[in-house]
Amino acid sequence: MAAVDKDLIRQLVEGTISRDNARRLIRMPRKDHERFFNYLEVLQERVAWPERILLRLTDHLYIVAKNRGGRVVKCDCGQEFGDYRANWKLSAKIRARRTRAEFEQVYSPAPACPEPDWQEIREFYCPGCQAQLAVEVVPPGYPLVMDMLPDLDRYYREFLRRPLPDEAAGWYEDRTHQTTRQWREAAPADR
């Protein structure tokens, strides 16, 4: 099979692809370069906003290039979560489950529940469309988990052979602490 056509990728994204075609894709010995860009085109057609999608992060979230510069995390509903180098979870609505009763609402059977005091369940929601974006189970007080910090410049330059126009040093660094530092500085002085 030659290059995978866009329609097949669209079926893959929408979950309507046939078992035979899915199997054919998996068994292809070599993945063609264009497939990623066809995939992005399919994703771009599914959203109502114009910013260019650079990478999909989750079912709902994308890293996009802002027209006036910058790369931000954006939900398919249009809600933005700021610079992608700061964990987007800081800009999400968070629900934390901490008690056994709260765990049992989402765990079945009950013996599978984590131990209260040792674990908490954090659910992250989009402030724009209320979609659930991620869930993490961590010890209480554990920092928000940064699920992915992609090296976009290297990916586009070395693997896709199409460097991004705003390539620069500094895109590949975790800046989450800068956001939390601003929060601390903005907090009342009595702390």
Report the interface residues with Zn ion, using CB under 5 A: 75, 77, 79, 126, 128-129
Q: CB-wise, 38 or 79, nearer to Zn ion?
A: 79
Closest approach, Cβ 134 to Zn ion, in A, equals 12
Q: CB-wise, 127 or 139, nearer to Zn ion?
A: 127
Q: CB-wise, 11 or 132, nearer to Zn ion?
A: 132
In angstroms, rounded to a whole number, what is the distance separating the alpha carbons of residues 45 and 84? 22
Closest approach, Cβ 74 to Zn ion, in A, equals 9
Closest approach, Cβ 18 to Zn ion, in A, equals 31
Q: CB-wise, 13 or 138, nearer to Zn ion?
A: 13
Judge contact between 104 and 75, C-beta under 8 A: no
Nearest 5°: the CA angle 120, 191, 127 is 45
What residues have CB less than 8 Å from 50, skipping those under 6 apart? 67
Closest approach, Cβ 83 to Zn ion, in A, equals 18
Strands of the 80-83 sheet, one edge to the other: 52-56, 61-65, 71-75, 80-83
Judge contact between 121 and 106, C-beta under 8 A: yes
